[in-house]
Amino acid sequence: MTGTLADATTQHWSGLLVFGGIALAALTLAWAVTWWVWRSPPALEPHEYAFRAIARRLRLTARQRAIFRRLARSIDADPIALLICQEAYHKALRRDEGVSEHDAHAIENLVFRKRRRLSGVIHGGSA
């Protein structure tokens, strides 16, 4: 009779260990998924993604990117519009007088005087 009792106790503990292991694995997986979702960056809007990609390919500095963003806000447009359309860029410059002539000239020279480079970036070519 002691053999049967020992077998029952072993089966009981084995069942609890299996159940506990499965529960621990499920909790670990739930924690990992929650942490991954929490740490992942928010999805970007297509216009913001395009602006970042083209600005990166053109090697715009953080300061130049900030200028584009400020100028875009002054005419209620997306920054990508100012990168692509020279008329929008000039319209924004007329509205926002906080950009120095030096910065405006440097950005215009970098972006608009090199149409071929920008065109290659937009159409997927190498910059």
What is the C-alpha separation between 79 and 126, in angstroms, rounded?
21
Look at residue 127 in the predicted model and tell me its pLDDT: 47
Look at residue 24 in the predicted model and tell me its pLDDT: 93
Look at residue 122 in the predicted model and tell me its pLDDT: 59
CB 99 within 8 A of CB 71: yes
Predicted model pTM: 0.57
More confident residue, 14 or 41: 14
Residue 118: pLDDT over 60 = no
| pLDDT tens per residue, range 50-90 | 899 888 888 889 999 999 899 999 999 999 998 888 898 88
Nearest to 80 by CA among 114, 56, 98, 97: 56
